[in-house]
Amino acid sequence: MLKKLASLALVGAIIVAVPTMAFAEDASGTAPKAEAFHPLKQLLQEKAAAFGIATDGKTKEQIKAEIKSASEADRLARLQAAAAKLGIVTDGKSAEQLKTDLQAAVHTKLAAKADKLGVGSDGKTNKELREALKAAKAAKKSERDAKKAEALNKKAAKLGISTDGKTTAQVFAEIQSALQAKWAKRAKQ
């Protein structure tokens, strides 16, 4: 109970002291002017500077409108550049039309890759196709690695090297040293 009363007294003292400090006068007898910080205004100015828009003498609404139009123009330019890379005609198309065309072109490319790897692409989104392609590539890589390991194990058995509990790299190193010894022996003869 005593702690609660002490904390209430402390809060009360702070509440009483803050307004007094806010209206304090400086040495000249006038109240100091506080610089008003407006985070939204600062954000608008930073965005305008990023697009190279002058903000002097303009209202927030004017600045917002200019930033919006510059942003849309930048988006359209980026979409046109991406469409040009894929060979899509961009004349007279809006940003939304270009976006749709780009998504369709990417889907077509992904579907072709999926068909090449034997992955079904029917009814899948671009994201699902990418995941399926990644999984198929990983499966092919592991299959190749297994074939390489099997070939190394056969070669090791042929040379009389034990492969129990050894990694593929260790088996390869032993095969390599065994073959070098064999070739050196033949070279001496």
Q: Is the pLDDT of residue 7 over 90?
A: no
pLDDT value of residue 141: 92
Model pLDDT for residues 77-105, shown as the tens digit of each residue: 999 999 999 888 888 889 999 999 999 99
* 8-state DSSP, 57: T
Question: What count of other Cβ atoms lies within 10 Å of the Cβ of residue 158?
Answer: 9
What is the spatial distance between Cα 104 and Cα 107, in angstroms, rounded to a whole number? 5
Contacts of 32 (CB under 8 A, 6+ apart): 24, 25, 26
Residue tagged 């099997």 (tokens): 150
Model pLDDT for residues 125-184, shown as the tens digit of each residue: 889 889 989 998 999 999 999 999 888 888 888 888 888 888 888 888 988 988 888 888
**63 close to 55: Cβ distance less than 8 angstroms:** yes
Q: What is the largest CA-CA distance in the chain?
A: 110
Q: Write the burial class of residue 174 (CB in 10 Å: 0-12 exposed, 13-18 middle, 19+ buried).
A: middle
Q: Is the pLDDT of residue 18 over 60?
A: no
Question: What count of other Cβ atoms lies within 10 Å of the Cβ of residue 26?
Answer: 9
| Amino acid at position 69, single letter | S
Q: Tell me the Cα Rg of the chain.
A: 36
pLDDT value of residue 20: 47
In 3D space, the residue among 183, 148, 177 whose CA is nearest the CA of residue 160 turns out to be 177
Q: Is the pLDDT of residue 69 over 90?
A: yes
In 3D space, the residue among 97, 63, 66 whose CA is nearest the CA of residue 80 turns out to be 97
Q: For residue 70, what are its two tokens? A: 């510059």
